[in-house]
Structure 1
Amino acid sequence: MPELDPADQQFARDLDRAHVFHSWSAQGALDPLVFAGGSGARLWDFEGNSFLDMSSQLVNVNIGYQHPKVVEAIKAQADVLTTIDPKHANLARGRAAQLIVEKANLAGAGFEKVFFTNGGADANENAIRLARLYTGRDTVLSAYRSYHGNTGAAIVATGDWRRVPNQYARGHVHFFGPYLYRSEFWATTPEEESERALHHLERVVQAEGPDTIAAILIETVPGTAGILVPPPGYLEGVRELATRYGIVLIADEVMAGFGRTGEWFAHQGFGITPDLITFAKGVNSGYVPMGGVIIPPAIAHHFDERVFPGGLTYSGHPLAAASVVATIEAMTDEGIVENAKRIGQEAIGPAIEKLAADHPDVVGEVRGLGCFWAIELVTDAASRTPLPDAVMGQIKSALLARGVLPFVQNNRIHVVPPLIVTEDDITEAFHAYNAVLSEVAALV
């Protein structure tokens, strides 16, 4: 930890409150955390307090903070060329696209090109545009329990409350995806949930008119909505429906991709191939803004003689592209994706199951894979009533007081650390979770 000035803690907070307008927030009562720096899986503030990051910020710092190879690559690219018009070719951008396509093709899928964006929202925006132009259709189906970003079509494709004040885009229809713990289909087994959710989706397709539907947009493993690992057969069934009705299947891998589930892309763990893949976040751990759409030959070559009506000033920005190359190379060389799978199987999985067994009155369900897990908290096991927001706020504060930076969403704690975490890190985090849930159990 470098030498820090404690006075900068309050100065940073005062500047923020005076001049920064925050996302998804009522501005008046905000009291943001202040961080001065980080390394690996830890952050610290100007007062010297250290925090084990179990949030990866917005589930994007997959490679951890200040990875030396990525930092050095950004510096080296800055010495050569800091920016370039997207219409020109650039070595860093081309190499980044090549490596991304290689990882997408690990299962032999045959993807060919990458359209670069600035993040996940505009990746989904442009995937929708590609699907509509390729099919000549308009409607996009997406799940109610989903988040796809905060731009025109992406926010309306989103299923949660954030779409409601933002519904300015056309042609969006929602459906219920599988979620056995709170089943919409009166299912009692994963197999029933999968079968009934697929039946529901096909009926939506039929009712809307298959010839009007351009795309089914799904998070391979819905993240913000609760890390809802799909039951056996569901994704295969969605793939079959899309193929049968000539619909483009878009896999939103913005959060689940680049190692988060223990695979380079989450869909590879379920044995399916989507038509388009959107990505961002873990592709370079957010060191420089970057996202994109991975495109197969059939859709890419549809635009060989037809103009694609989309573009961004910073598409494939050289600094971002260089960080992507360094990230993918470091993750490959250091076995970081493999570490995520191993940590999930050998450390997080057993620890989270023990936590559930030790706190049956407040832990309703645990679920996940890789470094992508959720602890769903309830007032009692029988009613499954979500733990109130006020109590969840107390949980967040209590974890921070124990030096753990949590990801708290609705009535859930998402266990989503950087993919470089160790068994000792997980032991430390779950010691804090256990202590805090013991306190909570006495309150509810």
Structure 2
Amino acid sequence: MTDSAYRDDRAHVFHSWSAQRALTPTVLAGGEGSWFWDGEGRRYLDFSSQLVNLNLGHQHPRVVAAIQEQAAKLCTVAPTFANDARSEAARLIAEVAPGDLSHVFFTNGGTEAVEHALRMARLTTGRHKILSAYRSYHGATAGAITLTGDPRRWGSEPSIPGVVRFFGPYPYRSAFHATTVREECDRALEHLEQVFTLEGPHTVAAVILETVVGTNGILVPPDGYLAGVRDLCDRYGALLICDEVMSGFGRCGEWFAADRWGVVPDLITFAKGVNSGYVPLGGVVLGPRVYEAFAERPYPGGLTYSGHPLACAAAVATIGAMRDEGVLERVRDLGSTLIGPRLAEIAARHPSVGDVRGLGFFWAIELVRDRDTREMLVPYNAAGADAAPMAELVAACKERGLWPFTHFNRVHVVPPCVTSEADLDTGLDILDEVLTLADRHYTGKEA
């Protein structure tokens, strides 16, 4: 089975974000909780949550049962109809959404959610510009990839017009020469206001940002930053779109990360953790300003599989399981009492660790060659020989039974939100061990 699956994959599957002939994909055979295994029975502790979406872990029985039950009743339905799975999923999502966000437009994933949020913002305001941050990822379709502020955008350019980029806060590598977190917050907001001014506030439909930046570094915004962006949007009549595809549904210890700072966006995009990706699902949660814009005129957009019953049944079960099992509470607790302190200890032992940051089950270890200069362990967007130190580290993790998530010069600690304390310790022990490989490339002065 393993041999034929690998052979057929290499003969017929075209993989995303990859040079096709360079691939040697692992054939997965199964998974349970925070572990999965390949066709030869080799087990891996999943510290990547697949693609930071498996918040309830592999094969959660309650979610699997809900999909099976829905499949036996009604597998699919056109979006023009109402059905109980979709209606209940929308009610539950609206129930946990911040403030007055009360309606849900369902998509098949995060990229489509961003596409529709962009369209809704432009049609609601009658404006065309969208302000989007560098060091962001919003998806791979035409609009979403244009909004993206990392190298994955480059191959798709030129793309849609009207996107203007800005720098968000990143205290460790400040674009504003800030020396404190407070300065970083204030200067980032001053910069964003300048972008509004120079672009013409009357042309700006929305600001879109990842509430907590995901793949590009687990950049947790300083206290006051999101509220400041909200104020700017209100002052200039623009909408605030929070992309919570990665940070939502428990990952940060909240239903939505915006809740941590008490900020209510106009639109929230979600996917991934809403049902751990068991069946593809995403969506946009709408506030009243956007909803009312289409109360009397048709919204010009839709999807054949919008609110697919199997996906929505999985979402209903996921929200129920998270509530009953206290997932948000344990993520907040273990993030602050176990993961954060263990990563601080690891940073103290390894000179190659330049910075550790995060919250909940959403952390990054940033690796450097020199703590004083903050030279990255591998260059920005490194490939081939330039990326060899990180490739070596990844291989060492996998040899020890840990499946990591890495991007550029960072290792992200993003396990399923149900990972046990013992498994968290196991994974962190392995990272502690393999970081000695990164230390070999360190050229700066040791503390």
- For normalisation by structure 2, the TM-score amounts to 0.96
Pairwise mapping of residues 208-219 of structure 1 onto structure 2 (< 5 A)? 208-219=199-210
Taking the aligned partners of 1:364 and 1:13, their CA distance within structure 2 comes to: 39
Structure 1 counterpart of 2:359: 369
Q: Distance in 1 between matches of 2:430 and 2:92?
A: 38
Kept in 1, the 8 Å contact 2:253–2:328? The answer is yes
**1:299-334: per-residue Cα shift (whole Å, max 9, x none)?**
112211111000000000000010000110111111
1:420 aligns with 2:411: no
Match of 2:92 in 1: 99
> Equivalences for 1:52-67 in 2 at 5 Å?
52-67=45-60
Preserved CA contact (<8 Å) 2:79 2:305: yes
SS at match of 1:378: strand
- Superposed CA deviations along residues 312-369 of structure 1, whole A, max 9, x for unmatched, are 000000000100001101111111111111110111011100000011x200000000
- Aligned counterparts of 1:247 and 1:297: Cα–Cα separation in 2: 14
CA deviations 1:208-255 (Å, max 9, x no partner) are: 000000010000000011000011211111011001000000000000
Q: Name the residue aligned to 1:74.
A: 67
Offset of residue 377 of structure 1:
0.4
Residue 298 of structure 1: CA displacement? 2.5
Give the aligned residue type for 1:395: L
Task: Output the CA distance in 2 between the equivalents of 1:408 and 1:59.
Answer: 11
Tell me the equivalent position of 1:387: 377
- Asked if the contact 2:377–2:441 (Cα under 8 Å) also holds between the matched residues in 1, the reply is no
> What are structure 2's unaligned runs of at least 5 residues?
379-386, 443-447
- Alignment correspondent of 2:151: 161
Please tell me whether the aligned partners of residues 343 and 422 of structure 1 are also in contact (alpha carbons under 8 angstroms): no
Structure 1 partner of 2:103:
113
The answer on whether the counterparts of 2:109 and 2:271 sit within 8 Å (CA) in structure 1 is yes
Which of residues 195, 215, 221 is equivalent to 1:204?
Answer: 195
**2:240 partner SS:** strand
Aligned to 1:5: none
Measured after TM superposition, the shift of residue 11 of structure 1 is 2.6
Tell me the amino acid that sits aligned with residue 377 of structure 1.
L
Q: 1:353 aligns with which of 317, 334, 344?
A: 344
Distance in 2 between residues matched to 1:33 and 1:205, nearest whole Å: 47
The 3-state SS of whatever aligns with 1:28 is helix
Q: Does 1:281 align with 2:279?
A: no
How large is the Cα RMSD of the aligned pairs?
Answer: 0.9
Give the 3 Å change call, closer, same or farther, for CA 57–212 of structure 1 in structure 2.
Answer: same
Counterpart in the other structure of 2:135: 145
Where in structure 1 do 4 or more consecutive aligned residues deviate above 6 Å?
A: none
Matching residue of 1:223: 214
> 1:395-414 to 2 correspondence within 5 Å?
395-414=393-412
Match of 1:185 in 2: 176
1:143-197 deviations in Å (ceiling 9; x for gaps): 0110000111111000111112213212101000010111100001000000111
Measure the CA separation in 2 of the matches of 1:441 and 1:215: 43
Matched residue, 2:119: 129
Report whether the alignment pairs 1:90 with 2:80. Answer: no
- What is the deviation of 1:443? 4.3
Letter of the 1:278 counterpart: T
For residues 345 and 62 of structure 2, the distance between their equivalents in structure 1, rounded to whole angstroms, comes to: 37
The code of the aligned residue for 1:72 comes to: A
| Distance in 2, Cα, partners of 1:393 & 1:443 | 13
In 2, the alpha carbon distance for the partners of 1:340 and 1:65 equals 17
Task: Give 1:285 deviation, angstroms.
Answer: 0.3
Whether 1:35 aligns to 2:43 is no
- The answer to whether the 8 A contact 1:227-1:374 is kept is yes
Does the 8 Å CA contact 2:367/2:438 hold for their aligned counterparts?
Answer: no
Aligned counterpart, 1:4: none
2:77 is paired with a residue of what secondary structure? Answer: coil
Match of 1:337 in 2: 328
| Residue 442 of structure 1, aligned match among 440, 443, 446 | 440
- Distance between the aligned counterparts of 1:24 and 1:287, measured in 2? 22
* Equivalent AA in structure 1 for residue 9 of structure 2: D
Partners of 2:105 and 2:285 within 8 A in 1? yes
- Output one character per residue of 1:105-142: Cα deviation in whole Å (capped at 9) or x when no partner: 4xxx0111100000000101100111101000000000
AA in 2 matched with 1:390: A
Matched length:
433
Q: Percent identity?
A: 57
2:233 aligned with 1:260, yes or no? no
Q: Supply the distance in 2 between the matched residues of 1:297 and 1:236 (Cα, whole angstroms).
A: 19
Q: Which moved more, 1:376-385 or 1:390-399?
A: 376-385
Are the aligned partners of 2:274 and 2:318 in contact in 1 as well (CA < 8 Å)? yes
Q: State the match for 1:303 in structure 2.
A: 294
Deviation string 1:351-393 (CA, Å, 9 cap, x unpaired) is 100000011x200000000000000001121221111211000
**Hey, what's the Cα distance between the residues in 2 that align with 1:385 and 1:61?**
33
- Show the counterpart of 2:383: none
Whole-angstrom distance in 1 between the partners of 2:106 and 2:195: 32
d(CA) in 1 for partners of 2:182, 2:3: 53
Determine the C-alpha separation between the residues in 1 that align with 2:439 and 2:161: 46
